[in-house]
Amino acid sequence: MHATRVERAHAKLNLVLRVLAREATGYHGIETLFQRLALHDVVTVTVTPGERSLHCQGPTMPPDGLGPADRNLAWRAAVAYQAAAAWPDGFAIGIEKHIPVGGGLGGGSADAAAVLRALDAMAPSPLGLARLLEIGGSLGADIPFLVAPDALAWAWSRGDRFLPLSPLPPMAVTLVTSCDGVNTGAAYGAIASARADTGGAAPPAARLDPASLTSWHAIASIAANDFEHVVSTMHPGVAAMLPRVRHAATALRREGHPAIGLMSGSGATCFVLHPAGATPNFGADALPNGVQLLETETIGH
């Protein structure tokens, strides 16, 4: 009988996202505050005698699918685990998609992290968390945080180095999602071009005291995303909804609530983080075509 493991692949938000200078490797350094969400994909991994397969379905699957299987992060995570552990001979991965694709919520990274956790849980000689973090970091910037069990963390470098923080009480999150995602590479390219055109330098690394990130009010006071100004010019849904998200969060803060209104990651999802009893008001106008609201919450203590 083939061993099978089912894992939840939780989405993330970036509550702070600063894009720093481009490194010699060609990648930009970042600083970010990661928050894990209750929203998740469901990933099923089965060990096989040698054959490999990947099957994706679910309500947030794009009409054209997710592209070639061997370019999918979940597939690449399984192959990387095979290389590191010399096990298993093969795998079958099933992904039930609930996280919007290309939405800046880390869906693909979460799926890859879930595959690494699943394989290590079934392995005859598990590699352990530290090695999984190394493997995840070689695949994508969000993956190490999503491999680890922490709900909140300050991360830097490519996002693969992070400091876990004490989780905060759960908050409601209203996601403003779009049927069209944003290409992360294109978003980084747009930031580099904008800085070159204006002669603007990349911001220096922040020197945040982790002890200052102990309340939602404190985090709301520093919440920001460097991608917003360029992605707004690239994506009509973000251009239409980001001002409404900001306005809704500002209105809640005026009422004394610790609300945050931002775009997550490199887009295209915008969000309002707010107390469960304080509903954000996006105005009377109808939402643009292809834009919808999705409710979830943060994972906290």
| H or E, element range at 294 | strand 291-297
Euclidean distance between CA atoms 175 and 210, whole angstroms: 26
Euclidean distance between CA atoms 200 and 226, whole angstroms: 13
Give the three-class secondary structure for 60. Answer: coil
Euclidean distance between CA atoms 254 and 11, whole angstroms: 29
Report in angstroms the alpha-carbon separations of 123 from 86, 118, 264. 10, 9, 34
- Answer yes or no: 97 catalytic: no
Question: How big is the chain by its Cα radius of gyration, in Å?
Answer: 19
How far is residue 168 CA from its own chain's centroid? 18
Torsions phi, psi for 156 (to 5 deg): -150, -170
Give the three-class secondary structure for 143. Answer: helix
Torsions phi, psi for 250 (to 5 deg): -60, -45
Q: CA 81, 82, 83: angle at the middle one, nearest 5?
A: 90
- Answer yes or no: 12 catalytic: yes
How far is residue 286 CA from its own chain's centroid? 27
Active-site position among 41, 120, 142, 226: 142
Active-site position among 12, 41, 97, 160: 12
> What residues are paired with 18 via a beta bridge?
31
Strand 90-96 versus strand 28-48 pairing type: antiparallel
Active site residues: 12, 142
